[in-house]
Amino acid sequence: MIDRPLTLMAVHAHPDDEATGTGGVLARYAAEGIRTVLVTCTDGGCGDGPGGVKPGDPGHDPAAVALMRRQELEASCDVLKISDLEMLDYADSGMMGWPSNDAPGSFWQTPVQEGAARLAELMRHYRPDVVVTYDENGFYGHPDHIQAHRITMAALEMTALTPKVYWTTMPRSMMQRFGEIMREFHEDMPEPDPAEAAAMAEIGLPDDEITTWVDTTAFSGQKFDALAAHASQGENIFFLKMGTERFGELMGMETFVRVQDATGAAVPENDLFAGLR
């Protein structure tokens, strides 16, 4: 028996990432009495500003955007009943290839061992039983997602903890379905060029390679509301356009690939805490 609560730690890159890929599991496990810890690595300053002003455009103030996004993140955490929010507060690096990638202090420019040491301290404090982050490509190639993956895996090595470790993913069948839905909502959406289409086809995993399928249907309303809390980024959050009912139908399953395990729990599994309770 352990004298502390079972603990889930999710390591994400930006405010709003917590809701997109893990909002369901964060809400579900909080409801089950599990301590949920969210680590957000950047300040989100490369997000849209008030009125949808884009990074680099006149009137975009990264510091003001970061403050606004912090408030939205706290609101999202309230919706998902997240126990503990920790922010590393690195500067948002922007999308791959943006000038902000090279800015001093950006997350992308931070030495992995430096970021990992800070995260390792949080791991030693919270002693998570389950850690969730992105795969080595950050799911879709965003530099801050890739860096979050790198510091998480390095921090796990530093701490010599042996929790269950998962990378977020999506089954290719679901990716195909999302593509169909996006075309349904945007009838004038042009067909992607072959290179872009090929890159999209590589996102996610074949269904039979996914180890963990967690049903979060009962918490899809909380997940939708958590995304909606990030109102300043609404233009970029396609899922909000679906409405709550359609969203619940399509977003009620969150999927992962298990990459570290000390429990021997069989896969495929339907619970991140299989073998721990």
State residue 15's pLDDT score.
Answer: 96
Q: What is the pLDDT of residues 47-88, one digit of tens each?
A: 999 888 999 899 999 999 999 999 999 999 999 999 999 999
d(CA 273, CA 6): 9
- Of the candidate ranges 25-34, 87-96, 119-128, 170-179, the one whose mean pLDDT is the lowest: 170-179
3 state SS of 82: coil
Q: Return the pLDDT at 83.
A: 98
For residues 58 and 269, the answer to whether their CB atoms sit within 8 Å is no
> Three-state DSSP class for 271?
coil
More confident residue, 173 or 265: 265
Distance (Å, rounded) from C-alpha 89 to C-alpha 149?
A: 16
223-277 pLDDT tens trace: 999 999 999 987 777 778 777 878 887 888 999 999 999 999 999 999 999 999 9
- Asked if omega into 58 is within 30° of 0 (cis), the reply is no
- Supply the pLDDT for residue 180: 66
Structural domains of the chain sorted by starting position, each given as residue range(s) with its CATH number in brackets: 7-169+210-260 (3.40.50.10320), 172-206 (no CATH)
* Percent residues over pLDDT 70 in the chain: 89
Q: Give the C-alpha separation, 53 to 61, whole Å.
A: 9
On the question of pLDDT at 117 being above 70, the answer is: yes
Residue pair 62/254 in contact (Cβ under 8 Å)? The answer is: no
State the Cα–Cα distance between residues 55 and 193, nearest whole angstrom: 25
Q: Within 10 A of 78 (CB to CB), how many other CB atoms are there?
A: 13
**At residue 21, does pLDDT exceed 50?**
yes
Give the tokens for residue 163.
């929790």
On the question of pLDDT at 200 being above 90, the answer is no
Q: How much is the mean pLDDT over the chain?
A: 90
- Write out the two tokens for 72: 């939205």
